[in-house]
Amino acid sequence: MSTNTVKPYRSSRDEPNESFPNESFLNDSFLNESWVKLSHVEKVDYSGQEWVFRKDQLERRRIVICLGPCRVIVDGVRIYAASGTVIACEPRQWVETGGPSKEPQAMYFLEFEQGRVADGETAPDTDEIVSLRMNECRIHASVRLGHQIHLYWERSATADRMRAQAVFCELLALLVEYREHGDSEAPDVVKREIDCRYADNLPVDELAALTGVSRYQLMRGFKERYGKSIVEYITEVRLLHAKRLMQESKLSAGEIAERVGFRSEQYFRTVFKKEVGIAPAVYLRNRSRKVAAYSWPILGILLPLQVVPHAAPIDHYWTDEFSRKYSSDIAIPLGHHYEFNRRALRQLMPDCIIGLDCTITPEEAALLEEIAPVLLLPWMEAGWRQHLRMAADFLGMAEDAAAWLGRYEQKAAALRERARDAMGDQKVLVVKVAGNELQIWGRKAMTVLYDDLGLIPSRLTQDIDWYEPVEPDRLALCDEDCRFIVSVNGDSHSQARWRKLQADNRWTGLRQVREQAVHFLPGHQAWVYPWLENSALHQERLLDRIAYSILCGES
């Protein structure tokens, strides 16, 4: 891979029917013509602490062995990594690990050098000699081998380093076997079957019979392996092929539906709208323009306009839903490094780039302008409605923004009357459990609650724009007629803080808790600053969640 060309990492899920490409460093001439030397071994542990992560631009080849579920991102693409997952990475790729997680993460990094032996002399490791192009795979023995390699390497003695090298070669042998024969586990067999026969009727019982395991074992194993159900994966593959046919052929919607396995054109349109969020015709029309979303909150602005970008960051944990639905649409996944993103965007040559003024320096904006017209939204100074209108004007979609805002205002108006009827003159305080903190969320963070639904904020919210840490004692100063809306994040630290709070007399003694004047909102997997969610899409979802919590009396 030359320094002037970006070749984003593609996981095996992106290309059905592929295992390892033919251009593997483990080819037939490997043993005769090449040498390989283990040069560094490291065990990396993350406790689950929020925002703890590591990002490296590799100087040498690296194999990552995951000891359990891990967050691994290569060149902007997130890989679903379970225990025994092995990921091989090339020099100059960006590899990010760690980050917010409900559980601890552990993995081994095995860095190595490789070169060619020719005419009795050794040549250095260069891109012209070998090309490490491997997708991730799952090899259960890799965990045991990783332990052994690390153990020997830590001893430092020459003999033990040689033993580490020998075990590393055993790992390479398993990778060769995987490349030649594939994984024989039931979930992987079923995945390959779906990739080949996605247009056929594929009952789960038939797939289970194919693998020789029970229906329950297969469904559980597939979900654990790929993070989605068999039915969800079948739908995902069918939609992937449908999108390609829509863009590359002149087939009608009915013909496409038949080719990819949907039982009728109407059912295809229904599933497409439900899963993609956009009608097929609108999706195809808006795909004609190459829009690059430089910052991840831009996704929450483009989707209400029914625009799916061609380039976007899809590696953040809080964009998992976007990644599941739209990763196949992202031609160029962006990352967190200016130079990498510029090279990626030059490859795409987008029609325009949209980002946030608080994440891009003026110098970087000038360099991006050389690639395509750039819009930087004044993220902290303007509200989410203004962000939507500015982006729409930039894209020539002002009418689309006006229509979306009109629907939003209509929904808010209808819910406002019901919310006021349910709450009367009672005030509201939003309490957030985020990591080790208890917080009060202010007016800007809950504009849906106070501005759109017209509910009355507690006096404790006064002078708080976004959020402020608070001790349980202070909540006792809340207005007598105030109700709580509580949101607890899903990460392990937030859940532990919430359990501790529920056993705290300062919390259990509060009137709102005693009288069950508490409503609950779902929280994020981990702590996210509220201003990062200040987009049209998030506000609409928050409106629905708040209305459900209050109007349905969930407490």
Of the given ranges (26-30, 123-127, 315-319, 460-464), which has the lowest mean pLDDT? 123-127
Q: Can you read off the two tokens belonging to residue 262?
A: 């949907």
All residues at 6 or more sequence positions from 375 whose CB lies less than 8 Å from its CB, including other chains? 352, 353, 354, 355, 390, 391, 394
**With 80 as the cut, is the pLDDT of residue 222 above it?**
yes
Confidence of residue 187 (pLDDT cuts 50, 70, 90): confident
Confidence of residue 319 (pLDDT cuts 50, 70, 90): low
Report the candidate in 276, 435, 323 with the shortest Cα–Cα distance to residue 71: 323
CA-based nearest residue to 550, from 419, 429, 362, 408: 419
| Closest C-alpha to 528, from 50, 9, 80, 1 | 50
Under the banding of pLDDT at 50, 70 and 90, the label for residue 311 is very high
Residue 303 pLDDT: 93
- Classify each residue of 297-311 as buried b or exposed e, where b means 16 or more C-beta atoms within 10 Å of its C-beta: bbbbbbbbbbbbbbb
- Picking from 530, 528, 447, 440, the residue whose alpha carbon sits closest to that of residue 485 is 440
| Choice between 416 and 403, residue whose per-residue pLDDT is larger | 403
Closest Cα partner for 485 from 520, 456, 513, 461? 520
pLDDT per residue as tens digits for the range 442-492: 999 999 999 999 889 999 998 899 999 999 999 988 877 899 999 998 877
Percentage of the chain exceeding pLDDT 90: 45
Residues forming beta bridges with residue 456, ordered by sequence position: 427
250 vs 428: CA distance, rounded Å? 55
For 91-137, write each residue's pLDDT tens digit. 988 888 887 666 788 999 999 998 876 655 555 544 433 333 446 78
Lowest mean pLDDT among 129-138, 201-210, 264-273, 310-319: 129-138
95 DSSP β-pair partners:
56, 74
Given a cut of 60, is residue 29 above it in pLDDT?
A: no
The lowest-confidence range among 356-360, 471-475, 522-526 is 522-526
Q: What is the mean pLDDT of residues 63-74?
A: 90
pLDDT in tens, 157-176: 899 999 999 999 999 988 88
Q: State residue 19's pLDDT score.
A: 34
Instruction: Yes or no: say if 81 and 98 are a contact pair by the CB < 8 Å rule.
Output: no
Is the pLDDT higher at 338 or at 547? 338
Q: For the residues 246-257, what does the mean pLDDT come to?
A: 90
**Mean pLDDT computed over 206-226:** 85
Q: Is the pLDDT of residue 2 over 80?
A: no
Yes or no: say if 484 and 518 are a contact pair by the CB < 8 Å rule.
yes
> Per-residue pLDDT for 23 more than 50?
no
pLDDT at 480: 78
Query: For tokens 């829009």, what's the residue?
Result: 291
User: Stretch 419-436: mean pLDDT, rounded?
Assistant: 86
**Average pLDDT for the chain:** 84
What's the average model confidence in pLDDT over 317-344? 80
CA distances from 420 to 423, 453, 458, 522 (A): 5, 8, 15, 22
| Cα Rg of the chain, angstroms | 26
The answer to which of 115-119, 140-144, 300-304, 494-498 has the lowest mean pLDDT is: 115-119
Q: How confident is the model at residue 74 (pLDDT cuts 50, 70, 90)?
A: confident
261 contacts 237 by C-beta, under 8 angstroms: no
pLDDT given for residue 132 in this prediction:
37
* H or E stretch at 341: helix 338-348
Residue 304 pLDDT exceeds 70: yes
- Its pTM stands at 0.74
Query: Looking at the predicted structure, is the pLDDT value of residue 10 above 60?
Result: no
Q: What's phi and psi for 164, nearest 5 deg?
A: -60, -40
Output the pLDDT for position 181: 62
Distance from C-alpha of 202 to C-alpha of 3, rounded to nearest angstrom: 44
Q: How far apart are CA 429 and CA 472, in angstroms?
A: 13
CA distance 322 to 314: 7
Whether pLDDT at 13 is above 60: no
What pLDDT sits at residue 6? 36
Banded pLDDT at 273 (limits 50, 70, 90): very high
Burial of 431 (0-12, 13-18, 19+ CB in 10 A): buried
Report the pLDDT value the prediction gives residue 462, as an integer from 0 to 100. 87
Task: Enumerate domains of the chain plus CATH numbers.
Answer: 28-183 (2.60.120.10), 194-284 (1.10.10.60), 289-396 (3.40.50.1980), 422-552 (3.40.50.1980)
- Looking at residue 123, its pLDDT comes to 53
192-204 pLDDT per residue, tens: 899 999 999 989 9
- Return the closest-CA partner of residue 75 out of 291, 65, 62, 43: 62
Strands (E), 278-360: 291-293, 311-312, 332-333, 352-356
| Residue 397, pLDDT score | 95
Q: What is the per-residue pLDDT for 32?
A: 63
Euclidean distance between CA atoms 63 and 174, whole angstroms: 13
Could you report the per-residue pLDDT of 498-519, keeping only the tens digit for each?
Answer: 999 999 999 999 999 998 889 8
Average pLDDT over residues 354-375: 94
Q: Which amino acid is at 439?
A: Q
Using an 8 Å Cβ cutoff, are 468 and 521 in contact?
no
pLDDT for 122: 53
d(C-alpha 331, C-alpha 345), whole Å: 10
